[in-house]
Amino acid sequence: MRFDVLTIFPRIFESPLDETILRRAIDSGLIEVAVHDLRAWATDRHRTVDDYPFGGGAGMVMKPEPLFAAIEAIQPLAAPRATVVLMSPQGRRLDHDLVGELAATERLLLVCGRYEGVDERVREHLVDIEVSVGDFVVSGGELPALLVIDAVARRVPGVLGGETSLDEESFEGGLLEYPQYTRPADFRGWTVPDVLLSGHHAEIEKWRRAQRIARTRALRPDLLAAADLTAAERRALEGG
Ligand code: SAH
């Protein structure tokens, strides 16, 4: 899977892409990330990428010309054509399903806004999808783009190593993950549930499944309607 990123702050991407899971995914060729400095496509001496808003008002707006020129130059650098994703607080909210949809593509081009955002014609004529990381505003699209890269890369086969680690992760099947414990079995008098120490795999599986459902009901009841539950599980939930 290939990610192209368009930003005026390329260095923000250096350290997150240089550590641990993403670093290994890049080194092993499972993902490729090309970060492009938008200023390379600015044409004036000062490499201007922003300008005053028509109609007045606070702040600056990212000009259309460098963004169009950049994307038209970046698209032919690889195949297939990338889905162009604008990071925007007004976009579709990123969640497990959207991460899955993005991971099903072969190539994403993530456009990072700054200032007050981008000229409307970029949204209308250049962008395939707008993605928000939540109902709040951050200063630029770089951290949101890194969230997309990280979340999508984890879904690329091989990136997490043990493929099974994905199956029971939070939001898979619409449920949260079960509680996790490690040693010591007794910490300050708080003990680990007996079943986990029993070595009885079927019982452990049963307990974990029940915990996933109970936790989801306690912490994120909004997820339950769409969760993959058996008829019996759903009956139990409604009864209790
Ligand atoms: N004035 C805009 C916000 C601009 S914030 C508005 O009110 O809608 C500057 C840039 O940060 C945006 O162009 C976008 O790329 C990025 N950004 C801010 N919040 C974001 C969010 N929740 N999700 C994704 N990108 C975001």
85 forms beta bridges with: 110, 129
Mean pLDDT of all residues belonging to the chain: 96
Hey, what domains does the chain have and what are their CATH numbers?
2-153 (3.40.1280.10), 167-239 (1.10.1270.20)
Pick the residue whose CA is nearest to atom 21 on ligand 1: 89
Q: How much is the average pLDDT of 5-12?
A: 98
Residue 230 CA to ligand 1 center (angstroms) comes to 40
What per-residue confidence (pLDDT) applies to 239? 84
Mapped to the 3 state alphabet, what secondary structure does the chain carry? CEEEEEECCHHHHHHHHCCHHHHHHHHCCCCEEEEEEHHHHCCCCCCCCEECCCCCCCCCEECHHHHHHHHHHHHHHCCCCCEEEEEEEEEEECCHHHHHHHHCCCEEEEECCCCCCECHHHHHHCCCEEEECCCCCCCCCHHHHHHHHHHHHCCCCCCCCCHHHHCCCCCHHHCCCCCCCCCCCEECCEECCHHHHCCCHHHHHHHHHHHHHHHHHHHCHHHHHHCCCCHHHHHHHHHC
Q: How much is the average pLDDT of 144-160?
A: 97
Which numbered atom of ligand 1 lies nearest the CA of 62? 13
Pick the residue whose CA is nearest to atom 22 on ligand 1: 89
What per-residue confidence (pLDDT) applies to 161? 83
Range from 101-105, 108-112, 158-162 carrying the lowest mean pLDDT: 158-162
Q: How much is the average pLDDT of 5-14?
A: 98
Residue 162 pLDDT > 80: no
What per-residue confidence (pLDDT) applies to 109? 98
Pick the residue whose CA is nearest to atom 23 on ligand 1: 132
Q: How much is the average pLDDT of 138-162?
A: 96
